[in-house]
Copies of this chain bind each other. A is one copy, B any other.
């Protein structure tokens, strides 16, 4: 369980899980859905090196930024046949960038509304005109 316990043959799934701060079941799940390459085995047990830890960190990081596992897989491996990898990647990244900008705007608007709401003295959200004025300024999309 010590942080640096890396035997010659690599880390166990439990050690990796501990490093990254996720459950072993999640790691197996990522492998199952093709997000994490199947590692080497010793007596049937998975053995990982540091690249797996890095990759899992990237996955966590991307997830927290709002990427789905499908999107992350696309960004890792999603290179359509006949397309130049870099171009494909850039197209995906560009699209996601726009989505994140949109998401960021919505969060911004919600923050404004919440801040206003905290300052105003309404008893319930429904009585509060702040929400509705916020709505007018940036109506829901979709």
Contact = CB atoms under 8 A, between A and B. Distances in A.
Interface of A: 21, 54-55, 57-58, 60-67, 75-77, 79, 85-86, 89-90, 93-94, 96-97, 100-101, 103-104, 106-111, 114-115, 117-118, 121-126, 131-132, 134-135, 138-142
Given A61-B138, A100-B111, 6 more contacts: A21-B140, A54-B135, A77-B124, A96-B114, A100-B107, A107-B107
B125 A89 contact: yes
Q: Chain A: interface secondary structure?
A: helix
A131 B141 CA distance: 30
22 contacts: A55-B126, A57-B135, A57-B139, A58-B125, A61-B110, A61-B135, A61-B138, A63-B140, A64-B106, A65-B106, A65-B109, A66-B106, A76-B126, A85-B124, A86-B121, A86-B123, A90-B118, A93-B114, A94-B118, A97-B118, A104-B107, A104-B111
Q: How many copies does the complex hold?
A: 2
A97 to B, nearest CB: 5
B54 A86 contact: no
B104 A140 contact: no
